[in-house]
Amino acid sequence: MDSIKVFAPATVANVVCGYDILGFAIDEPGDEIILTKNDFNKITITKIEGDGGKLPKNPEKNVVSHVIRLFLEKVNSTQGIDIELYKKMPLNSGMGSSAASSVAALVAINELMGKPFSRQELLPLAMEGERIACGNAHADNVAPALLGGMVLVRSYEPLDAFKLPYPKGLSVVSVHPHVDVPTGEARKIIKERISLKSAVQQWGNIAGLVAGFCTNDLGLVSRSLEDVIIEPVRAMLIPYFYEMKQLALDNGAIGFGISGSGPSVFALCEKKDIAEVISYKIKELLNQKNIESESFVTKINDEGARVIN
């Protein structure tokens, strides 16, 4: 095999109360990548589409070439690779854009080089892509993009990330207001110290959320989708966040929150028609405020990244 094409999904990280430790993949949108072996022992980026010219084509600076280099070093290979990256999701969106690119690149190179690693074994390499993208090797975007479904990162040292069960048939609304919230910036404003009272509330909520996922208890999931630590700080970066939240909950959402570091927001819904109403009403609100946006009504993607051909 000399060439391969892979899709990797967008992701919703944090899932309200699980900062840096919980995330899920969604069916759409996502990134596509084509890798082709070359005979020059060099990693080159021959094409990037859909980024508005914003991403580096310098292989020293793009996450896709960075993680491919790490992979080839790990297998002691000097194989040359040409990279075509097709961004089919917004940048700086809160939908795991850099993560989708890194994961697509790693799944593709792993396939091209004879699948020496499992998806789990690729996870640390994918996290290194996040490190150069936003300055921190968090796993709550790359893990669900790689493994699919809902992923809990129980521990970073040692790394312990695994799929959780979750209520099937849920619909997901993702709305991306066209405002810029770079992940790195949204991480810098997080307080390093929190009160014991807030910590108790947060770990109660994350425990309840995981229990609700595992027991298919939508009421418990709904009660647990509360964030007393990150949301109060980051909501200030997202225009009309609380108005959008109220709209979603008033129209039947199980829960609503910031997608990753924002500005995208998401809602979990029991039925697709509820999701469609919420998507419409949130976009209508943003239009009234002269804020452009795009929205997706989709589902949790249980497969993760996949080979397209």
Ligand X SMILES: N[C@@H](CCOP(=O)(O)O)C(=O)O
Ligand Y SMILES: Nc1ncnc2c1ncn2[C@@H]1O[C@H](COP(=O)(O)OP(=O)(O)O)[C@@H](O)[C@H]1O
**Residue given tokens 């207001």 in the structure block:** 177
95 annotated to a ligand binding site: yes
Integer Cα distance of 98 and 55 in angstroms: 10
53 annotated to a ligand binding site: no
Write out the binding residues for ligand X, residues 73-102 only, by CB under 6 A: 94-96
Q: Nearer to ligand Y by C-beta: 56 or 232?
A: 56
Q: Is 134 near ligand Y (CB under 6 A)?
A: yes
Q: Is 202 near ligand X (CB under 6 A)?
A: no
Tokens representing residue 224 in the block: 């647990």
205 annotated to a ligand binding site: no
Integer Cα distance of 105 and 83 in angstroms: 9
Query: Residue 196 burial by CB count (10 A; 0-12/13-18/19+): exposed, middle or buried?
Result: exposed
Q: Is 187 near ligand X (CB under 6 A)?
A: yes
| Binding residue (CB under 6 A) for ligand X from 13, 143, 172, 247 | 13
Write out the binding residues for ligand Y, residues 80-99 only, by CB under 6 A: 91-98
Cis amide bond preceding 263, omega within 30: yes
Integer Cα distance of 127 and 304 in angstroms: 16
With CB atoms as reference, the residue minimizing the distance to ligand X is: 260
Q: Nearer to ligand Y by C-beta: 55 or 143?
A: 55
Write out the binding residues for ligand Y, residues 242-301 only, by CB under 6 A: 260-261
52 annotated to a ligand binding site: no
Q: Is 173 near ligand Y (CB under 6 A)?
A: no
Write out the binding residues for ligand X, residues 115-154 only, by CB under 6 A: 138, 140-141
For the CB of residue 19, give the shortest distance to ligand X in the complex, in Å.
Answer: 6
Annotated binding site for ATP: 90-100
Interacting residue ranges for ligand Y, rule: CB under 6 A: 55-56, 62-64, 91-98, 101, 133-134, 182-184, 260-261
Binding stretches for ligand X (CB under 6 A)? 13-14, 19-20, 94-96, 138, 140-141, 183, 186-187, 260-261
